[in-house]
Amino acid sequence: MNPRIKIIQRAIDRLGARTYLEIGVADARTFLAINAPRKIGVDPKKPCPQLFEVANNATIRSFQLTSDEFFLKAGSLFAENRIDVAFVDGLHEWRQAARDVENCLRHLSDSGVIVMHDCSPTNEIMTTPADQLAAIRAAGKWTGSSWTGDTWKAIACLRSTRDDLNIFVLDTDWGLGIVTRGAPEGMLDYTPDQIASMRYADLDRDRERILNLKDPAVYDDFLDTLAPINAPAELV
């Protein structure tokens, strides 16, 4: 099983989560593999046929919107049943990724978990900015096996600005960021301008500190520290 699917599903199962939100559904391989009573997918591209076939507006919903548009229009979705587990895998641009996390937090259960993909790239070309990727590929200069963009900077940003969040990155699947409410293990002190100017070399020389990087083996014990989610009996 793909590491991200394992990590997301473990959170859902351990917490008794009811509502799962995925930002950046793409081909829906992750979204369709997740088992939760209520699943909501968001992507500006048209849903793939497999997702279109199962979306039913009751237990599985699909929104063809940007994440910003979704949160502006769909906040009422979480009035009765808040987000319990969210997976952020959208634009791969750090400001947007940080904004997606902030928007999820506004609707997140007290013990909810946000998982972020692509937080620990392993080479520089993987971090190609979103607005340059198409041109590099068209020019035949792309040599990467996977693309993370500069999502890792969102971790640096959130760890520098939110003293009410516990944030770390599991060292698997290009880095899976874990965000929950709670006291941080430690804060960073980067300004937005400093984060914007950082490059892959800055991450590579100080990866463990910037990301609060952890072995995936710690994850189950961490989940055990979170209170189970008391979900309503009926989904709305």
Q: What is the pLDDT along the chain (236 residues), one digit of tens a residue?
A: 799 999 999 999 999 999 999 999 999 999 999 999 999 999 999 999 999 999 998 899 999 999 999 999 887 899 889 999 999 999 999 999 999 999 999 999 999 999 999 999 999 999 999 889 999 889 888 887 799 999 999 999 999 999 999 999 999 999 999 999 999 999 999 999 999 999 999 999 999 999 999 999 999 999 999 999 865 545 54
| Strand segments (E) across the chain | 19-23, 38-42, 60-63, 83-88, 108-116, 165-170, 176-181, 213-214
Query: What six digits make up the tokens of 234?
Result: 């009926």
Tell me what pLDDT residue 170 has. Answer: 98
CA 86 → CA 58, 92, 99, 107, 128, distances in Å? 18, 16, 13, 10, 25
Q: What is the topology classification, in CATH, of domain 3-224? A: Rossmann fold (3.40.50)
Alpha helices in 26-113 (DSSP H): 29-33, 49-54, 67-73, 94-105
Tell me what pLDDT residue 57 has. Answer: 86
Report yes or no: 188 and 165 within 8 Å, Cβ to Cβ. no
Distance CA 8, CA 55 (A): 20
SS3 46: coil
Distance CA 167, CA 170 (A): 10
> What DSSP letter does each residue of 126-147 carry, written as one string?
GG--HHHHHHHHHTT----SS-
